[in-house]
Amino acid sequence: MSSRNGGEPLVEIRNLKKYFPIRKGLLQREVARVHAVDDVTFAVREGETLGLVGESGCGKSTLGRTIVRLLEPTEGAVIFEGRDISSLGPRALRPLRRRMQMVFQDPYASLNPRKRVGSIIGAPLKIHGVAKSERRQRVQELLETVGLSPEHYNRFPHEFSGGQRQRIGVARALALNPQLIVADEPVSALDVSIQSQMLNLLDDLQKELQLTYIFIAHDLGVVRHVSNRIAVMYLGKLVELSPAEELYQRPIMPYTEALLSAVPIPDPDLSHQRERIVLEGDVPSPINPPSGCRFHPRCRYMTDICREVEPPLTDYGHGHLAACHHPLNVDKETLARVTVSERHTPAAADERAKPRDPGKEEAKPIPRSG
Ligand SMILES: Nc1ncnc2c1ncn2[C@@H]1O[C@H](COP(=O)(O)OP(=O)(O)OP(=O)(O)O)[C@@H](O)[C@H]1O
Ligand code: SF4
Ligand SMILES: [Mg+2]
């Protein structure tokens, strides 16, 4: 969206883990853990939009919620404006809550049907002690900011269309002048015809209010035009991180290639040339994720090393990182020059396992499940 993408990091996550315990029996003993976010490191610069993509269950929402501290990290750090906020208690977090807000996917479920729009949008202001008279004025301004009318103040959510409800959700997120907005699939529940209006609104707001966005989506089509950079997640891991256009031109990780192949191309000539890769089966369970590269049971380039060794996040230059033993769209000479990113590579991965073989030569059909 914005072109101010050379700024300082606003938020950084370092080796972030979020595991959910699964408890059983009378004593509620922990019997297993969902590895929803598993050792993820990246930074989001002030004013940029980072698109965060991956299939359902990959950990996108958990990551977003942990960043804004709706969830407490299991391990690792969340650094906001240079300050580690990962272990702050509710009181210390309170002033920070103003600065980081979320917009949720489902505009139906996220608005209380019994509350009027004015009190929904005004709730964060009330919590933060803004006087009633001032609240009303601020809420009416916010309604205008998101393209609704100040007269909507006394209406109930059910009187609005899906797109309008999402605007109410955005107004509520903006109430306290945040710097960071984590938008969790903000257009997925909307009709295709109004998705672009919503994207345009978010874009305009970003420019006007100098916002930083983490924009979560499950498909790469939605985030293409709004993202400066894109992070791809698979089963709790960051598998590729790249400037947006570069990712669409030159996906390196086979999972990204598969996600991209599902994005419709408007040009029919190009669309013919491109192969649609059908990913078989669902994302495996994050309770007991596959060994080595977590994508290996579904990857058509998989070899023995993929089953055994978790690939390190390798730096391909220009801010393009990917975790794969058999990277795509790189030749042998390029591979000889690349370096492993110590900062981004999870502890469980093998930093010595620098990729050596380009992917296409090793191509194997996708193994069938079952
Ligand atoms: N509170 C919770 N308790 C236990 N498991 C959870 C909890 N929240 C999420 N999970 C699990 O963590 C994993 C990641 O979930 P998450 O919602 O973050 O994925 P997602 O990428 O946002 O998926 P979607 O596209 O469906 O929204 C899933 O296996 C999910 O079932
Ligand atoms: S080639 Fe191997 S390392 Fe790369 S994505 Fe496929 S299974 Fe993972
Ligand atoms: Mg989600």
pTM to 2 decimals? Answer: 0.92
What's the pLDDT score for residue 281? 77
Lay out the sheet containing 29-45: strands in order across.
29-45, 9-24, 75-80, 83-84
What's the pLDDT score for residue 365? 46
Least confident of 10-14, 24-28, 366-370: 366-370
Written as one letter, the residue type at 232 is V
Where residue 333 falls among pLDDT bands split at 50, 70, 90? Answer: confident
What's the pLDDT score for residue 219? 87
Per-residue pLDDT of 313-330, as tens digits, reads 999 999 999 999 999 999
Residue nearest to atom 9 of ligand 1 (CA): 62
Instruction: Name the closest ligand to CA 30.
Output: 1
How many degrees, rounded to 5, is the angle at CA 299 between CA 298 and CA 302?
125
What's the pLDDT score for residue 273? 59
The tokens describing 106, both together, are 């489902």
Pocket residues: Cβ below 6 A from ligand 2? 253-255, 293, 295-296, 299, 301-302, 306, 311, 324-326, 359
Where residue 106 falls among pLDDT bands split at 50, 70, 90? Answer: confident
Of 304, 306, 328, nearest to 316 by C-alpha is 328
Full 3-state SS string of 162-228: HHHHHHHHHHHHHCCCCCEEEEECCCCCCCHHHHHHHHHHHHHHHHHHCCEEEEEECCHHHHCCCCC
Please give the Cα distance from 341 to 339 (Å, whole number). 6
What's the pLDDT score for residue 270? 58
Q: What is the mean pLDDT of the chain?
A: 90
The mean pLDDT of 181-209, rounded to a whole number, is 93
Tokens 């035009």 -> residue: 225
What's the pLDDT score for residue 2? 44
Q: What is the DSSP secondary-structure string of 289-304? A: PPSSSTTGGG-TT--H
Of 113, 118, 94, 114, nearest to 172 by C-alpha is 118
The atom number, within ligand 1, closest to the CA of 22 reads 4
The atom number, within ligand 2, closest to the CA of 301 reads 1
The mean pLDDT of 169-185, rounded to a whole number, is 95
What's the pLDDT score for residue 69? 94
Q: Probe ligand 1: pick from 53, 60, 182, max atoms within 8 Å of CB?
A: 60
In the predicted structure, residue 209 carries a pLDDT above the cut 90: yes
Residue 15, C-beta contacts closer than 8 angstroms, at least 6 positions apart: 39, 40, 41, 75, 76, 77, 346, 347
Would you call 308 helix, strand, or coil by DSSP?
Answer: helix
Domain boundaries, the chain: 235-340
What's the pLDDT score for residue 370? 34
What's the pLDDT score for residue 110? 83
In the predicted structure, residue 20 carries a pLDDT above the cut 90: yes
Q: Is the shortest distance between the CB of 64 and ligand 1 below 6 Å?
A: no
Residue 296: HSE in the Cβ half-sphere, 13 Å Cα cutoff: 19
**149-153 long-range contacts, CB within 8 A, separation 24+:** 152/117, 153/116, 153/117, 153/118
Per-residue pLDDT of 270-287, as tens digits, reads 555 567 777 877 888 999
Please give the Cα distance from 169 to 166 (Å, whole number). 5
First CA to last CA distance, the chain: 43
Where residue 311 falls among pLDDT bands split at 50, 70, 90? Answer: very high
Where residue 356 falls among pLDDT bands split at 50, 70, 90? Answer: confident
Q: Using an 8 Å Cβ cutoff, are 243 and 229 in contact?
A: yes
Where residue 5 falls among pLDDT bands split at 50, 70, 90? Answer: very low
Largest CA distance in the chain: 68
Please give the Cα distance from 6 to 12 (Å, whole number). 15
